[in-house]
Amino acid sequence: MAILRTRIDSGGEAFRQNRQAYETHRAAVAAAREKSLAAGGEKAIALHHSRGKLTARERVSRLLDPGTPFLEIGQLAGHEVYDDPVASAGMVAGLGMVTGRLVSIVANDATVKGGTYYPLTVKKHIRAQQIARENKLASVYLVDSGGAFLPLQDDLFPDEHHFGSIFRSIAEMSAMGLPQVAAVMGQCTAGGAYIPAMSDETVIVRDTGTIYLGGPQLVQAATGEVVDAQRLGGAEVHTRHSAVADHHAIDDQHCLMLVREILSRRPASAPPAPPQRPEPPLYDPAELVGIVPANPREPIPAREVLARILDGSRLLEYRERWGQSIVCGTGAINGWPVGVLVNDGVLFSESAQKAANFIEICSQRDIPLLFLHNISGFMVGEEYEAGGIARHGAKMVNAVSCSRVPKFSVLIGGSYGAGNFAMCGRAFGPRLMAMWPNARTSVMGGEQAATVLTLVREAQLAKQGRAMTAGEAEAFKAPIREAYETRSHPVHAAARLWVDAVIDPADTRPWLTLGLASAAASPSQETRFGVFRM
């Protein structure tokens, strides 16, 4: 296995400039992160505390085993998507260790619009459930939610991937034998009430927890009955009369302790130890930010990245001398073996075939796949079309689609067009997907899109015997470029849950380690590929 040696001078001027340029990307993400972490704001948090309740983040941190990491999903979800600020889409979600077991956690944030479900809150809850399903994990729902955010009901209620699928998933996951524990830590109305009602086992907190399908106002409007929240659906009702809840907690802290105890009854399912001895790379991952070129049009040197991500900077490269615009090979991350694919130029027919073959090999040997996107797309032009690039590219997309080993995607640079598909973009089911702050993703680059649309416009005008001046063409292009820049940004992507997280390059190894460890706990599935177009 070859050791990757760096050719970068980490004390040089280019390195310094790259680092400086990266800082701008990092700062843009940090600003969005700060708003997400502010939850519903100081006033709402103070009110929440005055009711004797812990915030969603406080609940999660007290649920977790002390000192263990939390792999957060969708922290930037909802950022600047709706008219209201909806920090983290009103929900904290992720994977963490509870009594030595890796579990999926979903916690409603009642300081954000009463913890109601916006369309992205629904998407985030479903995403957390999907991660639990794929990795065969137990789930904890810390519920404190007014149910559907009513003004947007048509965007979150009636369709296939809307609110109902959360409840369908709870039932299906239970049937799969995946434990789901709900903790009622606030007023849980309508949809909020179905989560504890559908879960296997439910804890409710005295005085603050309520479960009801319709709140006191609705009951009065519907039947004329006047009843207060606790009498309608408090802990006394549900642990003594209805049996909708199974355990009675005196406060949030006690409730979290009971959830931990319930989970500890399950046979230990701590992630297994990695099969190889973990080892740091020879080169510091903190140097990655100096390797990402300040000019986004310059490619990121693939092997320099791998030298700072893989254990011992070691890579057993597959077909090193052929199809060189993609680097494929096996290595390890903190002792977990991975088959890694990283772009080193546009995808040609040879690179696509090589990647498809490599994916086939890893799938047969049960080696998880890691895709590091740095791709403008497949090569275009007469020669390449005649050479069947569409057919060869399709082989790679087929392999990525059908492979059943755990797949992970990290966008380290651009991820454009069909290149995104071939490199296991969101639609291809990576177990986890992240973006570096400098990365961008869209159907094509802004400049290319502006040029394509200008050419289309010019052709239309030519039919009318008119032409665009250079000034008009530029005025036409500028807003297209700008829209692409905004909408391909990691904050825009993460706000819509196109990716699970935006991570700093130096955090890539620990982030992937937790992902690989959680995937290792679930039995692998057999891969059956479709017809490869030879």
CB of 212 to ligand COA, least distance (A): 9
If one asks whether residue 114 binds ligand COA (CB under 6 A), the answer comes out as yes
Of 192 and 430, which has the nearer Cβ to ligand COA? 192
If one asks whether residue 148 binds ligand COA (CB under 6 A), the answer comes out as yes
If one asks whether residue 121 binds ligand COA (CB under 6 A), the answer comes out as no
CB of 213 to ligand COA, least distance (A): 9
Q: Which residues contact 229 (CB under 8 A, 6 or more apart)?
A: 187, 210, 212, 215, 216
Stretch that binds ligand COA, among 85-93, 100-108, 140-148, 453-461 (CB under 6 A): 140-148
If one asks whether residue 397 binds ligand COA (CB under 6 A), the answer comes out as no
Among 18, 88, 116, 349, binds ligand COA (CB under 6 A): 116
Nearest Cα neighbor of 300 from 343, 350, 253 is: 343
Among 142, 184, 190, 362, binds ligand COA (CB under 6 A): 190
CB 370 within 8 A of CB 341: yes
* Whole-angstrom distance, CA of residue 358 vs CA of residue 341: 9
335 dihedral zone (left: phi>0; alpha: psi -120 to 50; beta): left
Amino acid identity, position 504: D
Strand duo 91-98 + 336-343: pairing: unpaired
If one asks whether residue 18 binds ligand COA (CB under 6 A), the answer comes out as no
If one asks whether residue 147 binds ligand COA (CB under 6 A), the answer comes out as yes
* Element (DSSP H or E) covering residue 340: strand 336-343
CB of 2 to ligand COA, least distance (A): 58
* Whole-angstrom distance, CA of residue 150 vs CA of residue 63: 30
Query: Among residue numbers 203 through 232, which ones bind ligand COA (CB under 6 A)?
Result: 215, 218
Place of tokens 């603050």: 208
Stretch that binds ligand COA, among 108-116, 302-310, 338-346, 520-528 (CB under 6 A): 108-116
* Whole-angstrom Cα Rg for the chain: 25
* Whole-angstrom distance, CA of residue 231 vs CA of residue 139: 29
If one asks whether residue 312 binds ligand COA (CB under 6 A), the answer comes out as no
Of 215 and 329, which has the nearer Cβ to ligand COA? 215
Stretch that binds ligand COA, among 146-154, 309-317, 356-364, 392-400 (CB under 6 A): 146-154
Please, is 425 exposed, middle or buried when counting C-beta atoms within 10 Å of its C-beta (0-12, 13-18, 19+)?
buried
* Whole-angstrom distance, CA of residue 288 vs CA of residue 25: 14
* Whole-angstrom distance, CA of residue 157 vs CA of residue 149: 10
Among 18, 36, 189, 508, binds ligand COA (CB under 6 A): 189
Stretch that binds ligand COA, among 70-78, 123-131, 142-150, 381-389 (CB under 6 A): 142-150
Residues of this chain that interact with ligand COA (CB under 6 A) are: 110, 113-114, 116, 146-151, 187, 189-191, 215, 218
